[in-house]
Structure 1
């Protein structure tokens, strides 16, 4: 179990003072990292889709794209805690399996209880992933499946709704998103280096300014992921 786990957070609310309050609360929790505090939901969608967010504190009443619409777009990509002044949205939110529902004005005590629920959910997922030694992936033909050892995965490359999984012996193509397979892979063994790449940490040979050598492959390393990759390897 990784006791130094840092959870990357995004705050989204159309009122800047509301993002300021949650941002201050996040900074008081040692295992939470504030990635962005935004008032523009479309900018927030980009962050979530890039896979750099673990937890979103999401307002419901927003112009242009409200919180429920945001959940429909991104609800499977990370965890959500709703923050709103309107209690009538609670049931709708839980239809999307949100972690908790915070009614404004939000106290730090109530915020902390919600974050603890999130931690427990993440702990359950982490324990399950740590016991995995392989994954089952659907192949490129009907009724065809691959059983792939996690240690054999050198890297995964994403292209729209398809991925290619590269091992020492074969390359497997399957209809799946990069974010989808990332959920199946233990974070202590795999990480994203670029919006289109996940690598197996044990296969890293060198890290340069903007790329890595993983196995015998040159893999791009973007600025967005570089710090996280280096910290995960404790370099």
Structure 2
């Protein structure tokens, strides 16, 4: 566990793609709390490294030659905290089943990395709010953010600005846009982790809405695109805070 007086999260990057390693290192350099100790280009190399070194956090690619990132974590008796990185969204559910801190879908935007880094830093600091050291997003986060969904054997790239709302339907989600509705086999809890934290809010176990599309709200409901959605009991307090800010 890192020292709380001056938080330094000892971090390992494991990815077989050099450009992915370079991007994560670049993003991590924006956070004084993240100390990149080393990088590995295979799960086997990481396994040997972890046998000799104490690491708090691993940015871990899932699909690599030989041993996968998931197999690596399953093989460790006391694994460090993990943020999975992959180009394959279908691995997200299994990643979260392993109690991963977060799951980053490639290509990774800085905005999404910011959310993941904030989570892990708060986790080590033992607090619920983002630390003051990372309270403001740099100007680079104005780039468009995309949600990548596997639909009909294709990956659909959806600008999150175009989303009206997201609805759960058992093991599927419906992403409602102005002109169409896209349905993908995915859990809404996984989709929630892939969205920009400042732009969307979960209002019910079955619904996620964009904050800037809320037209009206009540203690028990919100209106988006002319449609009224019930706010779930466990989400009321967080929703009211977001809506009144």
Could you tell me the TM-score, scaled by structure 2's length?
0.48
Partner of 1:123: 125
Work out the CA distance in 1 between the residues paired with 2:48 and 2:114: 27
- Structure 2 unaligned segments of length 5 or more: list them: 128-245
Could you tell me the TM-score, scaled by structure 1's length?
0.50
Work out the CA distance in 2 between the residues paired with 1:49 and 1:78: 12
Matched residue SS, 2:99: coil
Is residue 58 of structure 2 the alignment partner of residue 56 of structure 1?
yes
1:111-154 residue CA offsets vs partner (Å, 9 max, x unmatched): 111011112222239xxxxxxxxxxxxxxxxxxxxxxxxxxxxx
1:89 to 83, 88, 91: 91
CA contact (8 A) 1:80 1:100 kept: yes
Matched residue SS, 1:91: helix
Partner of 1:12: 14
The Cα shift of 1:34 comes to: 0.8
Moved >3 Å (runs of 4+): none
Work out the CA distance in 2 between the residues paired with 1:97 and 1:46: 22
CA contact (8 A) 1:7 1:32 kept: yes
The Cα shift of 1:75 comes to: 6.8
* 1:10-49 equivalence runs, <5 A: 10-49=12-51
Matched residue SS, 1:109: helix
Work out the CA distance in 1 between the residues paired with 2:79 and 2:46: 12
The Cα shift of 1:49 comes to: 2.7
Work out the CA distance in 2 between the residues paired with 1:50 and 1:70: 15
Work out the CA distance in 2 between the residues paired with 1:50 and 1:5: 22
1:72 to 74, 94, 97: 74
2:100 to 95, 98, 105: 98
CA contact (8 A) 2:62 2:69 kept: yes
Instruction: State the aligned residue count.
Output: 125
